[in-house]
Amino acid sequence: MKYIDFKNIDINDENFNNQDLKIAGNIIKSGGLVLFPTETVYGLGANGLDSSAVKKIYLAKGRSSDNPLILHISDMDMLNEIATNISTIEHKLINAFWPGPFTLILTRTSIVPDIVTAGLDTVGIRMPSNKIANKLISYAGVPIAAPSANISGKPSGTNISDIFYELSNNVDCIIDGGSSEVGLESTVVRVIDGIPTILRPGKVTPEEIRKITKSVKIDEHIFSKFSSNEKVLSPGMKYRHYAPNSKCVLVYSENNSLLVNKILELSNKYNNPLILATTENISSYTDKNLLTINIGHKDNLNEIAKNIFTSLRQVDKLNPDIVFIEGVKQEGLGLAIMNRLIRACEYNYISI
Ligand code: TXA
Ligand code: MG
> Which of 148, 151, 158 for a ligand 1 pocket mutation test, highest count of atoms within 8 Å of Cβ?
148
123 lines ligand 1 (CB under 6 A): yes
187 lines ligand 1 (CB under 6 A): no
Q: Distance from CA of residue 180 to its chain's centroid?
A: 10
Q: Are strands 273-278 and 322-326 parallel, antiparallel or unpaired?
A: parallel
Is the pLDDT confidence value at 215 over 60?
Answer: yes
| Angle 117-310-69 from CA coordinates, rounded to 5° | 5
What's residue 16's pLDDT? 76
Is the pLDDT confidence value at 240 over 80?
Answer: no
Is the pLDDT confidence value at 228 over 60?
Answer: no
pLDDT band at residue 237, thresholds of 50, 70 and 90?
low
Whether the full predicted model's pTM is greater than 0.85, yes or no, is yes
Helix (H, G, I), strand (E, B) or coil at 331: coil
Q: Averaged over 29-49, what is the pLDDT?
A: 98
Q: Counting atoms of ligand 1 from 1, which one is nearest the CA of 146? A: 6
339 lines ligand 1 (CB under 6 A): no
pLDDT band at residue 231, thresholds of 50, 70 and 90?
low
99 lines ligand 1 (CB under 6 A): no
Is the pLDDT confidence value at 335 over 70?
Answer: yes
Nearest to 253 by CA among 309, 315, 330: 330
Q: Counting atoms of ligand 1 from 1, which one is nearest the CA of 63? A: 13
Residue nearest to atom 32 of ligand 1 (CA): 234
d(CA 92, CA 243): 36
pLDDT band at residue 236, thresholds of 50, 70 and 90?
low
> Which of 103, 136, 181, 198 for a ligand 1 pocket mutation test, highest count of atoms within 8 Å of Cβ?
103
Q: Which fold has domain 2-222?
A: DHBP synthase (3.90.870)
Q: Which residues of 220-233 are buried (b: 16+ CB within 10 A; e: fewer)?
A: ebbbeeeeeeeeeb
117 lines ligand 1 (CB under 6 A): yes
145 lines ligand 1 (CB under 6 A): no
The torsion defined by the Cα of 295, 301, 303 and 308, in degrees rounded to 10, comes to 50
Is the pLDDT confidence value at 8 over 90?
Answer: no
67 lines ligand 1 (CB under 6 A): yes
- The proportion of the chain whose per-residue pLDDT surpasses 90, expressed as a percent, equals 89
Could you tell me where in the chain the CATH 3.40.50.11030 domains are found? 247-351
278 lines ligand 1 (CB under 6 A): no
What's residue 14's pLDDT? 75
Could you tell me where in the chain the CATH 3.90.870.10 domains are found? 2-222
| Sequence-ordered list of residues with C-beta below 8 angstroms from that of 27, at least 6 positions apart, any chain | 2, 33, 34, 172, 173
Determine the distance separating the centroid of ligand 2 and the alpha carbon of 37, expressed in angstroms: 14
pLDDT band at residue 241, thresholds of 50, 70 and 90?
confident
Q: Averaged over 222-237, what is the pLDDT?
A: 67
What is the per-residue pLDDT across 118-145, written as a single tens digit (0 to 9) for each?
A: 999 999 999 999 999 999 999 999 999 9
Per-chain mean pLDDT for the chain: 94
**Rg of the Cα trace of the chain?**
20
What's residue 24's pLDDT? 98
131 lines ligand 1 (CB under 6 A): no
Residue nearest to atom 29 of ligand 1 (CA): 123
SS3 content of the chain, % helix, strand, coil (to 5): 35, 20, 40
What is the per-residue pLDDT across 158-200, written as a single tens digit (0 to 9) for each?
A: 999 999 999 999 999 999 999 999 999 999 999 999 999 999 9
For 168, phi then psi, to 5°, come to: -60, -30
**Which CATH number applies to 247-351: 3.40.50.11030, 3.55.50.30, 2.60.40.2230, 1.20.210.10?**
3.40.50.11030
Q: Averaged over 79-93, what is the pLDDT?
A: 98
